[in-house]
Structure 1
Amino acid sequence: MDWRPPADPDKPVCPYRRNFTVDIKSHTPAAPFGGRDYGSGTRAVVPPQTLQSIKQTELVIRNPPLRTADPPAPRILKLSITEELAVVDGRGAQLAVCTIAPKVAGQATFQAVAKIYDPLYYSFPNKDVPSAPCDVTRDADIDYSREAAAYEHLQRIGQAGLFAPKYFGSWTFTIPIQIGETTQQRSVRLVLIENLPGPSIRELCLTSRAATFDEAYRLEILARVLDGNAKLLLKGINQRDLASRNVILVHPPNIQPAAQQQTFPRVVLIDYNISIIYEQTRRKISPFNGATLPPNPVELYWNNTQILMQFRGWIPAEWEDNPRLYQEWLSNRFGGKNMASYAPLRAKLEFYKWVA
């Protein structure tokens, strides 16, 4: 029988708008879980029959986020939203630019992006099969556990603030909700990351601004994306969603648009909620164990036509019709003398045979 979400009059409008203010407390996330690599974790699974007979608000109230031990010395900060980046009911994690003010006198305020894992604003209908409900409480906990673990790992390996955003820790707050005549408090988790003042590659493509950059410039940016991801793999983390929407280009401050083609931006890969950290998986084994150099992007992406789809509008259009041209670019860019920067190829690669 087809399922539809029941009327939910107690569900409040998504509150994470400009001027939303709340005190946040530092938090220790659960170990990453979910999926084949990490396993099911300790989060209880809500039975399908329960999901089909419950309102989203009731589901969220009954199933609060996983509890963990408090940090040794919890910190409390004041978060104030100043700009909405992606605040949409049903989206999943909400994204907003915030001012963060320490509660200790003399400490400076700073700006960050809050990624808020509030299950009340995840999509209750399954996005792939809308006639089935999702356990949004489990989904939010999975996203939080995996993304927090990823940013902590990126910080340890020295990539936070370089190829990945700076990381300002994982946090929790409480927010009131009115259920009938009763006001209750519920907990919500979030991470704070660097606010990156720049467009994604996807944004440049959708607004036709990509065409203002010459092909050599665009391909050098793509090369830096592939190289950066290869280095992350060597360091034990697989982001698993290499797409133009997740690559932000950050130019130095005060640089004029006309001068941007003469300087290459900082290339930043974001969005780690489906990433895996090999040492924390059930197998605890990386495909790159023992390697001292990153895998060569030639080998990683030789037959990866997803790159052609994900970076459409940034790459030459003829690559999609003739993937051999893409392979030739990979070979030229990462082969020859550049091969010394990467691990040796493990197999001979055959060029795509294109018929006109």
Structure 2
Amino acid sequence: MTPAVFPYKPGLELELHRHTPPDPFGSHNMIPYGRCTERLWNVYCNAPDYWDENRIQFALEYPPIETKPPVAKGGRLTMTAKFVVHRVIEQSQRSSGGPTLLEGKFYRDRRFVRNAMAKVYDGVFYSVEGGYGYGYDAGHPDPMIQADLDYSIESAAYEDIQTAGHCGSFTPQYYGSWTFSLETNEDGVTGTRQVRMILLEKVEGAQTMAEVIRKASTKQEVSWYSGSDGWVLDRERLPPVKDRLKVLKNLLEAWDRIWWDAKVSHYHLSPEDVLIRQDNTVAIINFEQATVYSWVERWGEPGDMQAYPDHPRYAKDAPSLQPNPLCLHWPFVRCSWPCRSPLVSAACWSHLPPIRKSRWWQWIPEDWVDNPELAAIWLLETFKSADPNIYGPLPDSFLNSSEQKGRDLIKLLENLGRKKSTSI
């Protein structure tokens, strides 16, 4: 498709109206693409020059999904507002297109309310290259639907996290879902199109873990077959180990509480998705690929195989307390479903070439990379006294697993209830 001029420049004023997102669809057992297949078919049938079509023209012909307008409860819901763009943080969070992140000022009734972040789901700036895949890398035959998919999932995730009481702590504050009109006059194409967005807290003084790592790295020229992306990390330029471990502890706790209390799994967490505050607490962001379990479609009998297993809180014998972080992040377990722990990723894939390693290995202490037992010892020391009002007891299957080999590690586990060993 013919590229469009990027409109989100400093000084742009967006008149916002409250908007009800579509139900989340198209990912991880949530409502499938099925309801959109007729539209996707029409895209191909009615646009013979699809790959040459102007992106703006396509957006006007295939607008975002319409929903019923939100209802103000007791007159307390702000229905209109204004957002003034200050700067563009991220034009696309992925090389193949995606949401746009803006920093700006939020106004209500012509009065300044707060600095905020706007995440804009504008399908005009999503990838269509590759055509037939539904992922970011493959592009999408209808980028407007892909933008709606991201919008529907991320807004649903924040709604559930907010209901669980974790917005403002484990994530930025969530200020709702909105829509705005964008006037277009480009290459002879004129019209007004609707664009969806969500509004989030601007976490003052915070930076992503990826930014911290990049500032401690140097770009070098490398050959394409070297197994490196060209960025060489200097660990001496990272924050002190004790600060990095405090961040890691806070991250694991935040991830666990969001998964258990809000029933939301981030699914593809990376250092780009972790905001580090000045006090080393964290806020997790970018939930557009999350699994929102309150919307997961369920079928069959308990125990039936599904592409994405259900949340344990929906089981007939659901536990009253969430699993201990030791069970969820134990670094000897290659598949840590349902949480896909960064600690597990760092430990399990450290043997791969740099470009294929999990990004988390750059944050953990260097001696952990080749010795996951050190990560396990840290986990035990950190979470052995986890709040019993929040976390369940360690199961025998965990304590007596044969995966634990080292003398120091087994001794620590014996202190927690592992059967005494006579072989060490």
TM-score of Structure 1 vs Structure 2, range by shorter chain: 0.7 to 0.9
Cα separation, partners in 2 of 1:16 and 1:180, compared to 1, 3 Å:
closer
| AA at the equivalent of 1:46 | L
Say which SS state the counterpart of residue 95 (structure 1) adopts: strand
User: 1:328 aligned to 2:377?
Assistant: yes
| Counterpart residue number, 2:294 | 279
| Counterpart residue number, 1:199 | 207
Equivalences for 1:70-81 in 2 at 5 Å? 70-73=69-72, 75-81=79-85
Q: Deviations over 1:40-79 (max 9, x none)?
A: 2533451385588412444322211110011124711111
| Counterpart residue number, 2:326 | 298
Structure 2 residue aligned with 1:266, among 281, 305, 308? Answer: 281
Cα separation, partners in 2 of 1:133 and 1:231, compared to 1, 3 Å:
closer
Structure 2 gaps, min length 5: 73-77, 218-234, 300-309, 335-343, 348-357, 407-424
| Counterpart residue number, 2:119 | 115
Q: What's the offset of the Cα at 1:96?
A: 0.6
Q: Deviations over 1:228-271 (max 9, x none)?
A: 111112111112122222111112xxxxxxxxxxxx33311111
CA distance in 2, matches of 1:130, 1:142: 15
Q: Which has the bigger relative contact order, CA under 8 A and spacing at least 6?
A: 1
Structure 1 residue aligned with 2:276, among 249, 256, 267? Answer: 249
The answer as to whether partners of 1:202 and 1:311 remain within 8 angstroms in 2 is no
Say which SS state the counterpart of residue 299 (structure 1) adopts: helix
The answer as to whether partners of 1:243 and 1:307 remain within 8 angstroms in 2 is no
Q: What's the offset of the Cα at 1:350?
A: 4.0
Structure 1 residue aligned with 2:177, among 170, 173, 176? Answer: 170
Q: What's the offset of the Cα at 1:131?
A: 7.8
| Counterpart residue number, 2:227 | none
User: 1:153 aligned to 2:152?
Assistant: no
The answer as to whether partners of 1:17 and 1:87 remain within 8 angstroms in 2 is no
| Counterpart residue number, 2:63 | 64
Say which SS state the counterpart of residue 223 (structure 1) adopts: helix
The answer as to whether partners of 1:234 and 1:291 remain within 8 angstroms in 2 is no
Equivalences for 1:1-150 in 2 at 5 Å? 6=1, 8=2, 11-40=3-32, 42-44=35-37, 45-47=39-41, 49=44, 53-54=49-50, 55=53, 56-73=55-72, 75-88=79-92, 90-102=96-108, 104=109, 107-126=111-130, 134-150=141-157
Q: Deviations over 1:215-234 (max 9, x none)?
A: 12211210111111111121
Q: What's the offset of the Cα at 1:294?
A: 2.3
| AA at the equivalent of 1:295 | P
Cα separation, partners in 2 of 1:339 and 1:65, compared to 1, 3 Å:
same
Q: What's the offset of the Cα at 1:281?
A: 1.1
Q: What's the offset of the Cα at 1:327?
A: 2.4
The answer as to whether partners of 2:140 and 2:146 remain within 8 angstroms in 1 is no
Structure 1 window deviating more from structure 2 (205-214 vs 163-172): it is 205-214
CA distance in 2, matches of 1:170, 1:177: 23
CA distance in 1, matches of 2:283, 2:171: 5
Aligned residues, how many? 331
Say which SS state the counterpart of residue 282 (structure 1) adopts: coil
Q: Deviations over 1:93-133 (max 9, x none)?
A: 0001011111x25x543111000000000112149797875
| Counterpart residue number, 1:215 | 241
The answer as to whether partners of 1:38 and 1:282 remain within 8 angstroms in 2 is yes
User: 1:351 aligned to 2:403?
Assistant: yes
Q: TM-score, normalised by structure 1?
A: 0.83
Say which SS state the counterpart of residue 338 (structure 1) adopts: coil
| AA at the equivalent of 1:78 | K
| AA at the equivalent of 2:286 | D
CA distance in 1, matches of 2:136, 2:27: 18
Cα separation, partners in 2 of 1:350 and 1:119, compared to 1, 3 Å:
farther
CA distance in 1, matches of 2:8, 2:163: 30
RMSD after superposition: 2.8
Cα separation, partners in 2 of 1:59 and 1:181, compared to 1, 3 Å:
closer
Say which SS state the counterpart of residue 329 (structure 1) adopts: helix
User: 1:233 aligned to 2:240?
Assistant: no
Structure 1 gaps, min length 5: 1-5, 252-263
Structure 1 or 2, whichever has the larger Rg, is 2
The answer as to whether partners of 2:97 and 2:136 remain within 8 angstroms in 1 is no
| AA at the equivalent of 2:239 | F
Cα separation, partners in 2 of 1:339 and 1:296, compared to 1, 3 Å:
same
Q: Deviations over 1:9-40 (max 9, x none)?
A: xx531111211112110101111111232032
Q: TM-score, normalised by structure 2?
A: 0.71
Q: Deviations over 1:286-343 (max 9, x none)?
A: 22343332222221122253245232321012222222322232233223x3373522
Amino-acid identity (%):
26
Cα separation, partners in 2 of 1:325 and 1:248, compared to 1, 3 Å:
same
